Structure 1
Amino acid sequence: MFKSIRFKMITIYFLLVFIAMVIVGVFIIQQFEQYHLGVVKGNLTQIASSFMTTLEEIDWQNNKDEIQKNISPYEKMGMEIYVIEKNNDFTIISSTNLSYWNQNATYILDSDLILAGFHGEIKDIVSQQEGPRSSKDMVFPLYDEHSRITGIIYLRQNLEDIYRTLDQSKFILTRAIILALLITIVLGYFIAKSITGPINDVTIKAEKMAKGDFDQVVEVKSDDEIGQLASMFNHLTARLKAVLLEVSNEKKKMDTIINNMADGLIATTAEGKIIHANPVAIEMLKIDEKTLKKKSFDELFLPLNNKLTLNYLSTKEKWYGNETIDMQEGLKLRAKYAPIIREDDYLEGIVVLLQDITEYEKLENMRKEFVANVSHELKTPLTTIKSYTETLLDGAIEDKPLAKRFLDVVVSESDRMTRLVQDLLQLSNLDYKQGKWNKKEIDINDIVKNAVLKLEVSAKNKRQHFNYTICDDTVHVFADKDRIEQVILNILSNAIKYTAEEGQIEVQVELKNNFVQIIIKDNGIGIPKKDLPRIFERFYRVDKARSREMGGTGLGLSIAKQIVEAHEGSIKIFSEEEKQGTTVMITLPTVDEENLALS
């Protein structure tokens, strides 16, 4: 309460009025007292002048009885008059109080005032008698005809009435001051309330705003400074609410971006406390959110990479860089880190961006392997062609049978390189969607029949049994006839190559709902399970040496997959275990009249 501005204002008003009233009261009482004392002094002077004239007329020194006759009337006026003769004893020779006759005046009256009178001074004092009574005393010297002081007149006027009046006046002024102070307190309270009320309202609303409630409006009751304060508070509230809404929207945007970004993000303070981690980071690090909150930055990353710790990073000149993290199950992460620096260059914390580079590393390895495979595939026929050509140049060309055999080898290796280049060009066109498709409605039964007839001779040469079953009804697909036939021929060729003599190859065409399935099954050497996930990779061979001996480029299945997927279909290979055969399933969507019309 005593610290409130309302109490302070009331106190200031109270003190101002109190001091002002006290000053005014003291001034009025003093002036009132001086005025009445002046009046008494004037009366005493006038009486003394009149009495002195009387004394001069009666020759008072020789007619002392006559003095008493002239002094007696003044007794009724409530005034004391003493005539003191100049002698050694300052004897009172006449007085309105008969009991003081012929007594020494210095024992009864003020001796200093008597002496002053005998020194020719007209002097007055206010003397305090016994009890609360006081009086106005004055002396006037009496001169003889030779201007010598022969005596003095001592006058005394009782001031009891005057001081009673002054005391009454003081009492009235005191009551007036008390009443004025009470009124001041009441008025000060309302005045202070008119000022502090809006301020308290602003304070209460500001406190609610500090707690997060920004729907606060202060009522504007005037156009003065208080009203301007209320208006500015409302303006500030509106602006603050708008800014916070904007900040909240931006925060939501950032949270949405961070939580839905493909990379993981972790932020930590300079002390190592993790302040943010998006769901992707939690998933990448294989940790739950509760456990993450309990760990510090160093506890989280030290087991993964001893260079991803605050102690290690603090030894570096720059807080920028990246490290690699090898996780379980072959997952590999790249951790890029950067500092959070305030405007005063103080390190606030660190942000770590986690990127899953597992697929990137796999693609990079595949790219390197692809280059190595292409180089190897081209090197082998080139080396053969070069060696045979050099042999011919060295003289073997004279031996016609030998020269013809060497040239046949050169032509065979050239055809092999031609097939390789053609396959690479075809894959490149499929990758960049530059191939031209001649899609139209075709009967898949006819495609399968033609492919089987083209390879039937090759199968008979190995005494293999070819069994194929097609649908009784016509199955229409919207496809490029040559490309689909190329896929089937490739699968059938592989089946013939990797199936032993007198083996069996089955081809089936089945219609399921809106899809047709072409199933090619053999009882050949099969494919190991570990090689199945990579069977469609370019240049990938289960048995590289044997595949090259059989004339393959290692690109056939990759081309087949690209073609089938370009027709919105799928191709799958199943092989339970080695030497148990392989099953290839090609699925293509069929078309009806409605779909054909839309196409």
Structure 2
Amino acid sequence: MLTSQLFWRIFAIYAGLTLCTAFAFALTLTAGYRDLAYPQVEARQIDNAQILLPQLRKIPAGDRWDFLRTINATSETRFEVLTLDQARQKANSEPDLADALAHRIGTSRRPNANALFQLYTIEFEAHGETLILRMTTPLDSVTENLSWISARLWVTAFTLVLIGLIVTYVMVARIIQPLDRLTHAAEQMALGESPKGLNFDSRNEIGTLARTLRNMDRQLAQRFSELEKQSQELEEKHEQLATVLRSMIEGVIAVDRSEQILFANDTVFQLLDVQPQSFMRRPIWEAVRHPQVQKIVQAALSGQPSEKVEFDVARTQRTLAMVASPLPGEPATGAVLVLHDVTDLRRLENLRREFVSNVSHELKTPLTSISAYAETLLNGAMEDEETCRTFLQRIEEQAERLNKLIADLIALARLDSIEQAFELEPVNATYILQKSIDEHQGVAKSKQIELISVAPNEEMEVIADSDGFQTIIDNLLDNALNYTPSGGRVTVRWRREGEWSRIDVEDTGVGIPREHQARIFERFYRVDKARSREVGGTGLGLSIVKHLCQVFGGSIRVTSQVGSGSQFTVLLKNGQNSNGQTWM
């Protein structure tokens, strides 16, 4: 309370009023006594004059001095009689004489030797002479009484001031202390704490204010509880929304009215290859430098229908599609941008176009040949038996090629649509490998190619489908024999490597340039199209091999060097554990 500015202000005001009242009281009574005492002295002098004047008129001039001396000896007041000449001589320095000469009566007070005197002068006539009676009365007793009374008054005033200050202090304290408690309680309420010290029994305004604060505290506690519950619900919803946004494969960006980035999920940083600290709180046109992005953001902020734009990110080699939608508000308070990675979609679209083009071309080529040979035969070539046989052989070759192409397309279609359900089980890989090698020995000898196998001492099993595994080995051997010139060699190796079985098909053929090695497993992709058609390839064999390896949970890779040959490596899961037991 002693530090309360309001307390000291009110106390100072009441203390000042008390002091002023006490001082005014003392000064007023002192002045009143003074104004009462001096007229009484003057009245006594007038009474004395009325008594003495008749006597002075009768007393002879020679006895006048003795008469006055006798009176002066017994009276406090000094009486003297002056002639007009004596009065005129002293009139310049003594105002009472000047008044008496001018008005026949004069009064004044003057100090003399540290004393104060009351003078009364009156003009009279005696024995035909104008005289002036002058009475001088000392005011020592009046002054002493005035000092005594003034001292008592000032003591009383200071006593009243002290009592008033004490009473003021107590009264102001009784007012300020509850206010101080109410202020402290209000501060606690502002901090969200439960206020203390609001139990007032008084029915005045302070009590009413305390009861109001108690009601307010109960209402605020209820509101805070509701707000805390709502805040918790909002936080849970925010966490759920953040979790959903983080788990989305689409990138989500939120910008405000000034195009400043407010939010971005982790997918955005991956798609754009940026760091969060260098991306957040930046303008969208600075973070994503593309004119169309800025255009659709501005369109969304202006309330226009959203558009979809695509742009390439050089750092990640990705193609992204972006859609912008305005946030609620009029005008829009911001916009939400959704990023989609359409790189694979565009790549698949290109592959589809290439696939359709390649299928059309591959089907058109044998059909055109068959049509040409048939037309030639119908135009008279049938008469020549040798030519007829040659053309029919060519028609048979092209029909076989067409049949193989269609069979490969059907196989790929089944793999893509998973129409063909493979029963994966341990398969005797050694048996199938050796069988396939034996079946290709005739082709290898006809082309003067050495086909050899390098097998481990024990049999090897893999998790696969027997027909599918047979297709993998046959296609790899066909590919190796087709692209290996006469005098070359094709080597097939297989062995176990931990949990995997490894099959290597190595040739000494023409090899594959490095720039083509990543695409040779694509459908209809050929490194040398003319050479591929000469050897009768459809361009689908390696694609089928890759699909089958993936279905069986394995993989395939190639290493090659132009002029030195190629090596295809297939990895499939072992069908036996380290103890030789078959996996079930």
| TM-score bracket for this pair, using the shorter chain length | 0.5 to 0.7
After the TM superposition, which residues 579-598 of structure 1 pair with which residues of structure 2 at under 5 Å, given as runs?
579-592=563-576
| Superposed displacement of residue 479, structure 1 | 3.1
1:299 counterpart = 2:286: yes
Shift of 1:386: 3.0
1:270-327 Cα distance to aligned partner (Å, 9 max, x none):
324333344443444344445446853333334xx22333699359872622332223
d(CA) in 1 for partners of 2:393 and 2:322? 58
The secondary structure found in structure 1 opposite 2:291 is coil
Relative to structure 1, the CA distance from residue 494 to residue 233 in structure 2 (aligned partners, 3 Å threshold; closer, same or farther) is: same
Q: Secondary structure at the match of 1:334?
A: strand
One-letter identity of the residue aligned with 1:559: I
Say whether residues 1:370 and 2:355 are aligned partners.
Answer: yes
In structure 1, list runs of 5 or more residues that go unmatched.
23-96, 102-163, 207-215
1:229 partner amino acid: M
Amino acid at match of 2:221: N
Kindly indicate whether residue 387 of structure 2 is the aligned counterpart of residue 433 of structure 1. no
Q: 1:437 to 1:254 in 2, by over 3 A?
A: closer
Q: Which residue of 2 aligns with 1:133?
A: none
Distance 1:262 1:237 in 2: 39
TM-score, normalization: structure 2? 0.66
DSSP-derived class of the 1:553 partner:
coil
CA spacing shift, 1:236–1:316, aligned 2, 3 Å:
closer
Say if 1:100 and 1:368 are closer, same or farther in 2 by CA, change over 3 A.
farther
> Match for 1:507 among 489, 492, 496?
492
Q: How does 1:162-311 map to 2 (within 5 A)?
A: 182-203=169-190, 205-206=191-192, 216-219=193-196, 224-292=211-279, 296-302=283-289, 305-309=290-294
Equivalent pair of 1:319/1:337 in contact (CA under 8 Å): no
| Equivalent residue, structure 1, for 2:310 | 324
Query: Among 365, 371, 378, which residue is 1:386 paired with?
Result: 371
* Equivalences for residues 490-501 of structure 1 within 5 A: 490-501=475-486
Relative distance call for 1:564 and 1:308 in structure 2 (3 A) is closer
Matching residue within 313, 335, 338 for 2:324: 338
Per-residue deviation at 1:372? 1.1
Q: Which amino acid aligns with 2:564?
A: Q
- Preserved CA contact (<8 Å) 1:269 1:275: yes
Q: With structure 1 as the length reference, what TM-score do the two structures score?
A: 0.64
Alignment of 1:337-486 (within 5 A): 337-343=323-329, 345-394=330-379, 396=381, 402-486=387-471
Deviations 1:364-421 (A, max 9, x none): 2111111111111112222223333444455555656545544443333332222222
Contact 1:219 1:230 in 2 (8 A): no
Q: Distance in 2 between matches of 1:377 and 1:557?
A: 16
Secondary structure in 1 aligned to 2:518? helix
CA contact (8 A) 2:186 2:195 kept: no
Partner of 1:123: none
Distance of 1:253 and 1:540 partners within structure 2: 47
* Structure 2: unaligned runs, 5 residues or longer: 22-46, 52-148, 200-209
RMSD: 4.8
User: Aligned partner of 2:522: which letter?
Assistant: E
Q: 1:518 aligns with which of 496, 503, 520?
A: 503
Name the CA shift for 1:429/1:513 in 2 (closer, same or farther; >3 Å): same
Counterparts of residues 81-92 of structure 1 (less than 5 Å)? none
Measure, in 2, the Cα distance between the counterparts of 1:226 and 1:316.
Answer: 48
What CA distance in whole angstroms lies between the structure 1 residues aligned with 2:211 and 2:297? Answer: 62
Q: Deviations 1:180-203 (Å, cap 9, x if unpaired)?
A: 655532322233345334223213
Work out the CA distance in 1 between the residues paired with 2:471 and 2:327. Answer: 61
1:511 is aligned with what amino acid?
Answer: R
Per-residue deviation, 1:566: 2.3
Would the alpha carbon gap of residues 438 and 248 (structure 1) be closer, same or farther in structure 2, given more than 3 Å must change?
closer
Contact 2:453 2:492 in 1 (8 A): yes
Q: Which amino acid aligns with 1:238?
A: S
User: When the two structures are aligned, how many residues end up with a matched partner?
Assistant: 461
Cα distance change of structure 1 residues 277 and 241 upon mapping to structure 2, 3 Å threshold: same
Paired with 1:326 and 1:236, the residues of 2 have a C-alpha distance of 52
Amino acid across the alignment from 2:307: G
The C-alpha deviation readout for 1:335-379, integer Å capped at 9, x for no partner, is 424254343x12333333333322222122111111111111112
- Measured in 2, the distance between the counterparts of 1:370 and 1:201 equals 76
| Deviation, structure 1 residue 533 | 0.6
Note the C-alpha offset of 1:429.
Answer: 1.8
Residue 558 of structure 1 corresponds to: 543
Q: Partner of 1:307: helix, strand, or coil?
A: helix
* Shift in CA distance, 466/182, structure 1 to aligned 2, threshold 3 Å: closer
Does the CA contact (< 8 Å) of 1:218 and 1:233 recur in 2? no
CA 1:306–1:424 in 2, change beyond 3 Å: closer, same or farther? same
Q: Distance in 2 between matches of 1:538 and 1:582?
A: 19
Letter in 2 for 1:333: T
Between the aligned partners of 1:185 and 1:452, the Cα distance in structure 2 is 115
AA at the equivalent of 2:226: R
Which whole-Å CA distance do the structure 1 matches of 2:328 and 2:303 have between them? 18
Determine the C-alpha separation between the residues in 2 that align with 1:335 and 1:570. 32
Cα distance in 1 between the residues matched to 2:341 and 2:322: 11
1:174 Cα deviation from its structure 2 partner: 10
Aligned residue identity for 1:321: E
CA contact (8 A) 2:489 2:508 kept: yes
In 1, Cα distance between equivalents of 2:471 and 2:171: 110
The aligned counterpart of 2:117 is none
Corresponding letter in the other structure for 1:429 = R
1:574 aligned onto 2:552: no
The alpha-carbon distance between structure 1 residues 539 and 189, as it changes in their structure 2 partners (threshold 3 A), is same
Q: What is the identity, as a one-letter code, of the residue corresponding to 1:338?
A: A
* CA drift at 1:469: 1.7
Q: 1:444 to 1:286 in 2, by over 3 A?
A: closer
**Residue pair 1:218, 1:234 contacting (<8 A) in 2 also:** no
SS of alignment partner, residue 544 of structure 2? helix
Residue by residue, what CA displacement relative to the aligned partner does 1:212-245 show, whole Å, maximum 9, x if unpaired? xxxx444595593322212222223333333333
Identical positions, percent? 27
Matched residue type, 1:487: I
Q: 1:283 to 1:441 in 2, by over 3 A?
A: closer
- Matched with 1:542 is 527
The 8 Å contact of residues 254 and 261 in structure 2, kept in 1 or not, is answered as yes
Contact persistence 1:571–1:587 (CA under 8 A): yes
Which range moved further: 241-250 or 470-479?
241-250
Separation in 2, partners of 1:463, 1:410: 27
- Give how far 1:499 is off: 0.5
C-alpha change, 1:373 and 1:219, in structure 2 (3 Å) is farther
